[in-house]
Structure 1
Amino acid sequence: MYHATRIELKKLPSVANHTVRSAFSRNTNIRNPELPNMDAVIYGHVPSKKNVKDYASICGFDTKSEFLPITYPHVAAFKLHMELMLHRTFPLGIMGMVHVANKITQHRGIKLGEALDVRAFFAGSNRTHKGLEVSLRTEIRIGMELVWEGLSTYLALLPSKGIEKKEAEQLLPENPEYSESETWTLPSNLGLKYGPVAGDPNPIHWGVIAAKAFGFKRHLAHGMWTKGRAAASVHKMLGSDAAEIYVEFKRPIFLPAKVELHSGKKGQEIDFEVAATRNDDVHLAGYIKAL
Structure 2
Amino acid sequence: MSTTTARVFDLPALPPVLPAFARAALSASRKVKSPVEIPQWTVRVASLGFDRQHVAAYNALCGFPRADQIAMTYPQVLATPLYLNLMTRPGFPLPLMGLVHVRNTIESRRELAIDENFDASVRLGDSREVRAGLELDLIVSFSDLDGDVIWQATMTLLRRGVKRDGEPAARTPAAAAGAAQEPGIAQYLTIRAPEDIGRRYARISQDFNPIHLYATSAKLFGFKRAIAHGLWTKARVLAELSPRLPEAPRRFDIQFRQPLLLPGRATLRHVQGADGIDCSLVEAQGGKVHLSGTLR
TM-score norm. by structure 2 comes to 0.89
In structure 1, what is the Cα distance between the partners aligned to 2:12 and 2:260?
Answer: 35
Tell me which amino acid in the other structure corresponds to 1:96.
G
In structure 1, what is the Cα distance between the partners aligned to 2:251 and 2:128?
Answer: 23
TM-score norm. by structure 1 comes to 0.91
Alignment of 1:63 with 2:66, yes or no, is yes
- Give the alignment of 1:143-154 within 5 angstroms: 143-144=145-146, 145-154=148-157
**1:100 corresponding residue in structure 2:** 102
**2:86 corresponding residue in structure 1:** 84
- Structure 1 residue 21: Cα displacement: 2.5
1:169 corresponds to which of 171, 174, 182? 174
Unaligned runs of 5+ in 1: none
**2:234 corresponding residue in structure 1:** 227
In structure 2, what is the Cα distance between the partners aligned to 1:116 and 1:238?
Answer: 26
In structure 1, what is the Cα distance between the partners aligned to 2:245 and 2:229?
Answer: 24
* RMSD of Structure 2 on Structure 1 (CA): 2.1
In structure 2, what is the Cα distance between the partners aligned to 1:91 and 1:260?
Answer: 38
- Give the alignment of 1:22-61 within 5 angstroms: 22-26=24-28, 27-61=30-64
1:210-256: per-residue Cα shift (whole Å, max 9, x none)? Answer: 21222222211111111111111222211323511100001111111
- Structure 1 residue 170: Cα displacement: 4.7
Contact 1:105/1:150 (8 A) holds in 2: yes
- Give the alignment of 1:237-248 within 5 angstroms: 237-248=244-255
Unaligned runs of 5+ in 2: none
In structure 2, what is the Cα distance between the partners aligned to 1:55 and 1:232?
Answer: 11
Tell me which amino acid in the other structure corresponds to 1:115.
N
Identity of aligned residues (%): 28
In structure 2, what is the Cα distance between the partners aligned to 1:63 and 1:190?
Answer: 20
The DSSP-based 3-state class of the residue aligned with 1:73 is helix
Contact 1:3/1:39 (8 A) holds in 2: no
Q: Which consecutive segments of 4 or more residues in structure 1 shift more than 4 A?
A: 159-162, 173-178
**1:283 corresponding residue in structure 2:** 290
- Structure 1 residue 178: Cα displacement: 5.2
In structure 1, what is the Cα distance between the partners aligned to 2:243 and 2:175?
Answer: 26
In structure 1, what is the Cα distance between the partners aligned to 2:195 and 2:168?
Answer: 36
**1:11 corresponding residue in structure 2:** 13
In structure 1, what is the Cα distance between the partners aligned to 2:27 and 2:215?
Answer: 22
